[in-house]
Amino acid sequence: MPELPEVHTTARMLNDMIREKIIADVWSDYNSPYYVGKENIKDPKYFKKLKSKILSKKITRVWRRAKNVLIDINSGETLVIHMKMTGHLLCGVFEFDKKKKEWIAKTPGPMQDPFNRFIHFVITFTDGTHLAFSDMRKFATVTLVSSSRELDKKFDTLGPEPLTDNFDWNVFKTRLRKRPNYKIKTALMDQSLVVGIGNIYSDEILWASLIYPERTVLSISDSEYKLLSKNTRNILTKGIDFGGDSMSDYRNPNGIPGEFQLHHNAYRRTNLSCKRRDCEGIIKRKVINGRSAHFCPICQK
Give the DSSP letter string of 181-222: TSBHHHHHH-TTTSSS--HHHHHHHHHHTT--TTSBGGG--H
What percent of the chain is modeled with pLDDT above 70?
100
Q: What is the pLDDT of residue 137?
A: 92
- Residue 35's pLDDT band (boundaries 50, 70, 90)? confident
Active-site annotation, residues:
2-3, 67, 291
- Is the separation of the CB atoms in 283 and 294 below 8 Å? yes
Q: What is the pLDDT of residue 45?
A: 95
Q: 242-287, pLDDT tens digit by residue?
A: 999 999 999 999 999 999 999 999 999 999 999 999 999 999 999 9
pLDDT of 1 above 80: no
Return the SS3 of 62.
strand
What percent of the chain is modeled with pLDDT above 90?
96
Q: 74-104, pLDDT tens digit by residue?
A: 999 999 999 998 999 999 999 999 999 999 9
Cα–Cα distance measured from residue 68 to residue 65, given in angstroms and rounded to the nearest whole number = 5
- Residue 168's pLDDT band (boundaries 50, 70, 90)? very high
- Is the separation of the CB atoms in 288 and 214 below 8 Å? yes
Return the SS3 of 142.
strand
In DSSP notation, 225-274 reads HHHHHHHHHHHHHHHHHTT---SSS---TTS---SGGGG-SSTT-TTSBP
- Residue 34's pLDDT band (boundaries 50, 70, 90)? confident
User: What mean pLDDT is reported for the chain?
Assistant: 97
Q: What is the pLDDT of residue 103?
A: 97
> Exposed (0-12), middle (13-18) or buried (19+): which is 142, by Cβ within 10 Å?
buried
Longest CA span, the chain: 62
Q: 212-226, pLDDT tens digit by residue?
A: 999 999 999 999 999
Q: Among 67, 62, 45, 66, which residue's Cα sits nearest to residue 123? A: 62
Cα–Cα distance measured from residue 51 to residue 107, given in angstroms and rounded to the nearest whole number = 25
Q: Which residues contact 292 (CB under 8 A, 6 or more apart)?
A: 199, 285, 286
Q: Among 244, 193, 188, 245, which residue's Cα sits nearest to residue 220? A: 188
Mean pLDDT, to the nearest integer, of 189-202? Answer: 98
Cα–Cα distance measured from residue 42 to residue 140, given in angstroms and rounded to the nearest whole number = 9
Q: What is the DSSP letter of 40?
A: S
Mean pLDDT, to the nearest integer, of 28-46? Answer: 92
Q: What is the pLDDT of residue 203?
A: 98
Q: What is the pLDDT of residue 89?
A: 98
Q: What is the DSSP letter of 174?
A: H
